[in-house]
Structure 1
Amino acid sequence: MGATGEGQARDTSSSREFYEYYARQSESPLALDRSRRIYEVVVATYGQDALARPLNVLDVGSNAGTQSMVWAEQGHHVFGIDINAPLVDLAKERAGARDLPVHFQVGTAEALPFADASMDVCLAPELLEHVPDWERCIREFDRVLRPGGVLFLTTTNWLCPKQSEYELPLYSWYPTPLKRHYERLAVTTRPELVNHATYPAVHWFSYFQLRRHLGRLGFSCRDRFDAMILDGAGFPKRVAVRSVRALPPLRWLAHTLTPYTYVVATKHP
């Protein structure tokens, strides 16, 4: 998604390097496995009703459509939206080749073209860091979600020095003025710093920050450790995750070792 000023027309184009990278990456086994795991977590959070009827699913920042198509394969009604027109076209092409009725369109997360309380699930992976007004995006997610709906999002994590947004060491911990300097370089003379993204990351979050913000809007939140499905997990993993769940200091430490923020939020009825 974009990082342009309010009221300005958004650039919906894509650099060749950015498009080619995500065209390849979106078809990788890793991307498909990640999308399926997100599906499992969200369905488990939503409950048995997710398996009993088709859900209306909104994929914000749908990219080349991998996540959307995982949901469509299970019979859900899926709507994908992204600012990157070439990737939207690629998503349409791929869904069409597989005869999956996903509705992809170009648009922005700050002004979703959907009715109030029209969606059961809203997915926003790796999005909030790239938009001009992240709070407005969350208000839009809240608006389109029905009571009892599930919001899934991943984004940056300033607690962890490891990150993948900028080709710079320890960038999450850079002071804000230095971050602003590199943001300017990324969209002018040094696009390789951000893999030629039109809209590089400009916001840095933590799970605890987003939990507070979403809580004020009436969402209950879980982090990656609470949401993790442990069926079939080995004994060491089960012990580690249960320890993190039980001990707040250990949970905070675990977040400092995780290079992204992961939130599964349920909208209160």
Structure 2
Amino acid sequence: MSPQHQGRTVEPSESAKWETRTRSEFIEYYARQSLSAASEKRSRELRDKLLKIHNDQGRKLNVADIGCNAGTQSRVWAELGHRVYGVDINEELVRLAHARITEAGLEGAFHIASATSLPFADASMDVCIAPELLEHVADWRRCLEEFARILRPGGVLYISTTNRLCPVQHEYDLPLYSWYPASLKRRYEHLAVTTRPEIANYATYPAVNWFTYYQLRDYLKGLNMECSDRFDNMKRGQNPLRRFALYAIQLAPPIRWIAHVASPSTSVMARKLSPRTPP
């Protein structure tokens, strides 16, 4: 089965209901940042971790890169021969991602589309990646439902997003913003899209959602997904202090909660379970 719904590839002319363009400062920042050595390293490390969790055994996978940005994550998967399908609502970034993967002599399909209505068939993807996306989409529940829909049983989902528990954040140039009351957040969200775009890095869709791992875990559980957090997926390594700290975090729920408070972002790894058998 083809991953794409017949006739559902989204072109710019079909996406008029979305704001698909953005400020030049935003595009220039991500065009530069996506080529950095650190970005390349993070993308390959994430790819390798997801491959290990998926236990692909060398099979070529269908990989959905949701919020693909300039395509770095898509490109590192395509390097290994996996079939990549990038999605972003930003037209300039989608075109840049396509141009870069083509220049590298690799293949990938890219779509201008919303994460709330993905142009892929049910159970057509082996891996779904949604880095730094969920905070920007008001209907975040619909996004999670779409991610679960397109994954096959045994498929793996990766999400990284904002952390409501931690005072450190990178979405707004404001101190302790994660802890602001909702009414004050709404005020700054309005300023970010009107007179003060610089406070949210010139994003067309600034962050409007703030999560905890536990909140996302509980919602994904209802979608038949089994979740783990960043601490479940860390290697203990050789350093005795690190090994002890990670062991304590994994063993004691209160210590794990404190560790989440100290983490500037939330990340979730989830596996889609096989359909439940009726009793």
Same topology, TM > 0.5: yes
Q: Distance in 2 between matches of 1:185 and 1:233?
A: 47
Residue ranges of structure 2 left out of the alignment (5+ in a row): 1-14, 275-279
The TM-score with structure 1 as length reference comes to 0.94
- The answer on 1:208 being equivalent to 2:208 is no
2:242 matched to 1:237?
Answer: yes
1:247 match: 252
Instruction: Name which structure has the greater RCO, CA cutoff 8 Å, separation 6+.
Output: 1
Are 2:17 and 1:12 equivalent residues in the alignment?
no
Count of aligned pairs: 260
Q: Displacement, 1:236?
A: 2.6
SS at the partner of 2:57? helix
1:258 equivalent among 252, 263, 266: 263
The AA in structure 2 aligned to 1:154 is S
SS of the residue 1:155 aligns to: strand
Deviation track 1:172-207 (CA, whole Å, cap 9, x = no partner) reads 000000000000000000000011000000001000
**Which residue of structure 2 lines up, in the alignment, with residue 93 of structure 1?**
99
Structure 1 SS opposite 2:231? helix
Matched, 1:134 2:140: yes
Partners of 2:16 and 2:60 in 1: CA distance: 37
Match of 2:180 in 1: 174
Distance 2:245 2:218 in 1: 25
- Supply the AA of the counterpart residue of 1:238: R
CA apart distance, 1:233: 4.9
- Match status 1:223 vs 2:197: no
Q: Secondary structure at the match of 1:265?
A: strand
Deviation at 1:8, TM superposition (A): 7.9
Aligned residues: percent identity? 55
Partners of 1:224 and 1:263 within 8 A in 2: yes
Structure 1 residue identity aligned to 2:22? S
| Selected match of 2:38 from 27, 30, 33 | 30
Structure 1 pair 8/133, CA: closer, same or farther in 2 (3 Å)? farther
Partner of 2:192: 186
**1:147 and 1:267 in contact (8 A); partners too:** yes
Shift of 1:38: 1.0
- Runs of 4 or more, structure 1, over 4 Å off, are none
Equivalent positions of 1:55-94 (< 5 A) are 55-94=61-100
Deviation at 1:102, TM superposition (A): 1.1
SS of corresponding position for 1:226: coil
Instruction: Report the alpha carbon displacement of residue 239 of structure 1 after superposing the two structures with TM.
Output: 2.2
Q: CA RMSD in A?
A: 1.3
Deviation of the 1:44 alpha carbon: 1.6
What whole-Å deviation, never above 9, does each CA across 1:32-72 have from its counterpart, x for those lacking one?
1111121122112111xx23210100000000000011111
CA distance in 2, matches of 1:235, 1:31: 29
Paired residue type of 2:264: P
CA distance in 2, matches of 1:229, 1:107: 36
Contact 1:163–1:172, Cα closer than 8 Å, also in 2: yes
**8 Å contact 1:156–1:203 — kept in the other structure?**
yes
Tell which deviates more after alignment, 87-96 or 238-247: 238-247
Q: Cα–Cα, structure 1 residues 233 and 201, in superposed 2: closer, same or farther, change >3 Å?
A: farther
Amino acid corresponding to residue 239 of structure 2 in structure 1: G
CA–CA distance in 1 between the matches of 2:163 and 2:116? 21
Contact 1:41 1:228 survives alignment (8 Å): no
Alpha-carbon distance in structure 2 between the residues aligned to 1:214 and 1:184: 30
Q: TM-score, normalised by structure 2?
A: 0.91
1:52 counterpart SS class: coil
